[in-house]
């Protein structure tokens, strides 16, 4: 009898030791799309002055991340998120498929990119589909969620739950998350437990007038979700009324969600979406995996519109703080929860020298000693923030009006004339706190982030 008790004690000790080695049953992965180091610095100054810090900058651990993809020095959001989610370097434009050549999607009769051409290229291969963090968590019996301020089918969320050789094949990506239907990703088992974002047309039937970007196959994926027991939300109010005993899908916009600066009251904030997701997912005693994307940072940067980009970083930061606060109520020491915050790639926004300390980050550069506007070699004033590439390159520079430069709709000047501002190839930053966060340090590959999360979660 005593021997048996001793054995039971030893077994318990061993299993708790194993548990201690892989303690993060909850993993929350925040991705600020395009949130490069300079964007973080600028947002910090914008909100908290030079001497302040954003909330997520106060997390315990930091690392620098190399973001190049399998075939490109400068990545797009698909392979960089794929690297975080699968541990594999992937080609640009490809969603969580190893060695797949990107194939641009075919257009349907309505002109929408619905035809999946995976496997048609010269390699006749649609690659291998490595398991994603979300799929691994689901396989371990945990609850899983993907939340974004972009369309739900966009590259970042798609790389958590879909596998396809072009990120623009949004109609096919949508059907990969609808349990029981044609094209479903069976690795998601009974379904992703929480899904939130925009992109309603990709989930609803085509109608020439009412829904011209709708599905050519006529499927109503939201009705299919409902038939599978999902609570389907279209507004913030719907979302707030959802109870934590059903799976949840919230599609809050036809396209991406609004910028935080002009957000309609029908749309939830990113913080509200994140906290609601935790309410829904944390009921599972085995834990959960949640991905939250601040996807509009990237949109504003592409638009060379720094003010909205900085506002979006602040909004993203608020969502992270709300999440940390909520998780500390559930798991006070974060002993079972790992929270990671990073970006998928940089942009080409830079800070020019040498504005006076305390000068508005969005303003024109002012001399340190005199406070008078600084001048370029042609005698013109210029803003602190400019972009390496983008549409706003003047043939001959003129003075920049300081008040205009700080307006919400101002587009900063650019060096190379491009139709839109592009991504940067510089390293990005990573912040982590909680269980298993200690190994996040140094300068590491984006694929290594997957390995560290997987180990922390015992997945």
Interacting residue ranges for Zn ion, rule: CB under 5 A: 298
Q: How far apart are CA 264 and CA 255, in angstroms?
A: 13
Shortest Cβ distance from residue 298 to Zn ion (Å)?
Answer: 4
Q: Which is nearer to Zn ion, 298 or 346 (CB)?
A: 298
What is the β-pairing status of strands 414-417 and 248-251?
unpaired
154 Cβ neighbours under 8 A, 6+ residues apart: 77, 148, 167, 170, 197, 199, 256, 293, 295
| Omega of the bond leading into 398 within 30 degrees of 0 (cis) | no
Q: Which is nearer to Zn ion, 300 or 338 (CB)?
A: 300
Shortest Cβ distance from residue 299 to Zn ion (Å)?
Answer: 8
264-281 burial: b if 16+ Cβ within 10 Å, else e: eeebbbbbbbbbbbbebb
Shortest Cβ distance from residue 172 to Zn ion (Å)?
Answer: 21
Element at 31 (helix H, strand E): strand 26-32
Q: Which is nearer to Zn ion, 74 or 234 (CB)?
A: 74
- Contact 345/74 with Cβ under 8 angstroms? yes
Q: Which is nearer to Zn ion, 298 or 331 (CB)?
A: 298
Q: How far apart are CA 242 and CA 235, in angstroms?
A: 11
Please list the residues that pair with 215 across neighbouring strands. Answer: 205
Q: How far apart are CA 51 and CA 44, in angstroms?
A: 9
Q: How far apart are CA 395 and CA 66, in angstroms?
A: 35
Tokens of 59: 């997390």
Tokens of 11: 């077994």
- The shares of helix, strand and coil residues in the chain, as percent rounded to the nearest 5, are 30, 20, 50
Q: Which is nearer to Zn ion, 215 or 347 (CB)?
A: 347
Shortest Cβ distance from residue 389 to Zn ion (Å)?
Answer: 13
Shortest Cβ distance from residue 268 to Zn ion (Å)?
Answer: 23
Q: Which is nearer to Zn ion, 347 or 454 (CB)?
A: 347
Shortest Cβ distance from residue 422 to Zn ion (Å)?
Answer: 8
Q: How far apart are CA 3 and CA 337, in angstroms?
A: 36
Tokens of 169: 């094949």
Active site residue 77: yes
Shortest Cβ distance from residue 423 to Zn ion (Å)?
Answer: 6
Q: How far apart are CA 423 and CA 116, in angstroms?
A: 26
* DSSP secondary structure string for all residues of 314-353: HHHHHHHHHHHHHHHHHSTT-SSEEEEEEES-EESEEE-S
Q: Which is nearer to Zn ion, 193 or 298 (CB)?
A: 298
Q: Which is nearer to Zn ion, 35 or 194 (CB)?
A: 35
Residues in the chain: 459
Tokens of 310: 């900085």
Shortest Cβ distance from residue 65 to Zn ion (Å)?
Answer: 16
Max CA pair span of the chain: 92
Residue nearest to Zn ion (CB): 298
Which residue in 15, 69, 77, 437 is the catalytic one? 77
Tokens of 439: 């190994």
Name the DSSP class of 98: B
The residues that are catalytic are 77
């Amino acid at each position: 009898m005593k021997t048996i008790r001793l054995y039971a004690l030893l077994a318990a000790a061993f299993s708790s030791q194993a548990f201690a080695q892989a303690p993060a049953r909850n993993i929350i992965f925040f991705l600020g799309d395009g949130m490069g180091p300079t964007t973080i610095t600028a947002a910090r100054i914008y909100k908290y002055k030079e001497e302040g810090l954003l909330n997520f900058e106060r997390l315990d651990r930091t690392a620098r991340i190399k973001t190049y993809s399998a075939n490109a020095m400068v990545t797009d959001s698909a392979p960089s998120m794929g690297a975080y989610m699968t541990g594999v370097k992937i080609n640009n434009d490809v969603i969580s498929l190893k060695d797949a050549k990107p194939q641009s999607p075919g257009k349907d009769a309505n002109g929408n990119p619905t035809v999946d051409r995976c496997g048609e290229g010269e390699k006749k291969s649609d690659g291998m589909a490595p398991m994603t963090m979300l799929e691994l968590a689901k396989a371990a019996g945990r609850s899983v969620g993907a939340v974004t301020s972009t369309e739900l089918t966009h590259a970042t969320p798609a790389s958590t739950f879909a596998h396809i050789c072009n990120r623009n094949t949004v109609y096919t990506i949508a059907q990969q998350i609808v349990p029981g239907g044609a094209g479903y990703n069976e690795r998601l088992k009974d379904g992703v437990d929480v899904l939130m974002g925009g992109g309603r047309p990709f989930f609803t039937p085509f109608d020439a007038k009412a829904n011209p970007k709708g599905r050519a196959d006529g499927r109503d994926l939201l009705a299919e979700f409902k038939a599978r027991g999902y609570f389907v939300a279209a507004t913030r109010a719907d979302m707030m009324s959802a109870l934590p005993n059903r799976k949840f899908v919230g599609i809050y916009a036809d396209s991406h969600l609004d910028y935080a600066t002009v957000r309609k009251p029908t749309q939830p904030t990113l913080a509200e979406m994140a906290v609601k997701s935790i309410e829904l997912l944390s009921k599972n005693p085995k834990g959960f995996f949640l991905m939250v994307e601040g996807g509009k940072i990237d949109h504003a940067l592409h638009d060379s519109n720094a003010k909205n980009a900085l506002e979006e970083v602040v909004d993203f930061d608020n969502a992270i703080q709300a999440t940390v606060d909520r998780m500390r109520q559930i798991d006070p020491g974060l002993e079972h929860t790992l929270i990671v915050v990073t970006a998928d790639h940089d942009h080409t926004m830079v800070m020019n020298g040498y504005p006076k300390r305390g000068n508005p980050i969005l303003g024109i550069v002012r001399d340190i000693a005199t406070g008078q506007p600084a001048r370029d070699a042609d005698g013109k004033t210029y803003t602190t923030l400019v972009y390496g590439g983008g549409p706003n390159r003047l043939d001959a520079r003129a003075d920049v009006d300081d008040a205009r430069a700080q307006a919400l709709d101002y587009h900063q000047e650019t060096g190379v004339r491009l139709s839109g501002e592009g991504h940067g190839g510089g390293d990005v930053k990573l912040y982590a706190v909680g269980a298993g966060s200690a190994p996040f340090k140094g300068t590491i590959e984006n694929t290594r982030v997957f390995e560290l999360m997987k180990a922390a979660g015992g997945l």
